[in-house]
């Protein structure tokens, strides 16, 4: 899977639109204008394997588009306005205005159905598989967060949530060049893209909390949350991702996040980290294993991350416990 795959997918999509033409007046981006003043696309490629596509258009007649690609990528997609449906490798969905989605695709077939005279406005950020895996590689929660871990044997997976106010503000700032010199606009755009990606992945994969009102859990939901806790502890060395854990517990991932904190007083992976470190403490006090062996047993592939987390929780280095300095 090459980095160019991201850009080839967007090439194929834009080529499938009715009579697009390229206007290369803007040096840091390509602007594609649809015929009959239907709208435009703006593309920015700040680095290989990363691309921003902004679109705003309203087609004059119903339009059906097909896209076939053997390429692979991760896309963060923000639907700001729009109406219609799309089917990707047998998975059918609607465009939902005011939503944010994380999409993973590989060797897929997409079928888009757009309605006439309906404004469609969106922002997409395409990320190469290599870049995505590099960003999540240091999570220390197992391989479940990798591209292959999330996608599995499927051709396409979609995870969606409402667009939060902080994310909407960042999207608006993409084209706010008021504080940037003309020659630094490309750098400004790249910085904003990375800020958006960081915030979105933090929310989708690593449980960044939004301010939400406390909700009453049903007995069924509470039982499922306890089941999720048991699954987590049974797979401490290589736990499932939050999205996969929600599926295994038969819960929506956002209900799992909120309910878990209400039930156990902390987030899912903060809870997991505490249990891992408790187990590590016990193993170190037994004295049969060295520090690196203990780190691997409890699921830390990075020794420095383990030592830092252990020191933060217990105020001592793991080696000090090994030498018997923990009461």
Residue 53 has which token pair?
A: 């596509």
Q: CA–CA separation, 249 vs 224, rounded Å? A: 6
Q: For the chain, which residues score pLDDT lower than 70?
A: 1-4, 18-38, 138-144, 177-183, 207-216, 324-327
pLDDT, one tens digit per residue, over 245-258 is 988 999 888 788 88
Pairing of strands 63-81, 50-57: unpaired
Q: CA–CA separation, 301 vs 145, rounded Å? A: 14
pLDDT, one tens digit per residue, over 28-73 is 445 555 544 567 778 888 888 899 998 888 877 888 888 888 899 9
Q: In order of start, what are the domains of the chain with their CATH numbers? A: 6-206 (2.60.120.10), 219-265 (no CATH), 271-323 (1.10.10.60)
Are 103 and 158 contacting, i.e. CB atoms less than 8 angstroms apart? yes
Q: Which of 72, 83, 76 is nearest to 119 (CA)?
A: 83
Q: Output the pLDDT for position 27.
A: 35
Residue 184 has which token pair?
A: 């630094």
Q: Output the pLDDT for position 34.
A: 54
CA 306 from chain centre, in angstroms, equals 24
Q: Output the pLDDT for position 180.
A: 59
Q: Where are the beta strands (DSSP E) in the chain?
A: 21-23, 30-33, 39-47, 50-57, 63-81, 84-88, 91-94, 99-114, 120-127, 156-162
Are 232 and 239 contacting, i.e. CB atoms less than 8 angstroms apart? yes
pTM strictly above 0.85: no
CA 64 from chain centre, in angstroms, equals 28
Q: Output the pLDDT for position 25.
A: 32
User: How many Cβ atoms sit within 10 Å of the Cβ of residue 133?
Assistant: 17
Q: CA–CA separation, 224 vs 152, rounded Å? A: 23
């Amino acid at each position: 899977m090459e980095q160019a795959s991201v850009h080839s997918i967007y090439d194929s999509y834009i080529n499938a639109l009715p009579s697009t033409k390229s206007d290369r007046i803007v040096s840091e981006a390509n602007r594609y204008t649809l015929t009959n003043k239907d709208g435009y696309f703006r593309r920015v490629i700040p680095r290989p394997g990363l691309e921003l596509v902004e679109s705003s258009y309203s087609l004059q007649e119903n339009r059906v588009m097909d896209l076939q690609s053997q390429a692979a990528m991760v896309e963060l997609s923000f639907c700001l306005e729009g109406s219609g449906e799309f089917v990707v490798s047998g998975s059918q969905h609607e465009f939902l205005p005011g939503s944010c989605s994380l999409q993973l695709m590989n060797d897929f077939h997409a079928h888009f159905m757009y309605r006439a005279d309906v404004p469609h406005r969106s922002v997409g950020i395409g990320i190469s598989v290599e870049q995505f895996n590099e960003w999540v590689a240091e999570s220390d929660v197992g391989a479940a967060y990798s591209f292959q871990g999330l996608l599995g044997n499927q051709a396409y997976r979609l995870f969606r949530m409402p667009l939060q106010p902080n994310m909407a503000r960042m999207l608006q700032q993409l084209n706010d060049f008021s504080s940037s010199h003309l020659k630094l606009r490309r750098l400004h755009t790249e910085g904003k893209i990375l800020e958006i990606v960081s915030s979105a992945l933090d929310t989708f994969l690593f449980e960044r909390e939004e301010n939400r009102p406390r909700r009453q859990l049903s007995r069924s939901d509470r039982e499922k949350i306890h089941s999720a806790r048991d699954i987590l502890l049974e797979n401490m060395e290589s736990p499932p991702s939050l999205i996969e854990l929600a599926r295994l517990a038969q819960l929506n991932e956002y209900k799992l996040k909120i309910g878990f904190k209400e039930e156990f007083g902390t987030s899912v992976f903060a809870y997991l980290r505490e249990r891992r470190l408790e187990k590590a403490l016990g193993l170190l006090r037994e004295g049969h294993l060295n520090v690196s062996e203990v780190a691997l047993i409890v699921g830390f592939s990075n020794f420095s991350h383990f030592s830092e987390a252990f020191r933060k929780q217990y105020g001592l280095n793991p080696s000090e416990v090994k030498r018997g300095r923990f009461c």
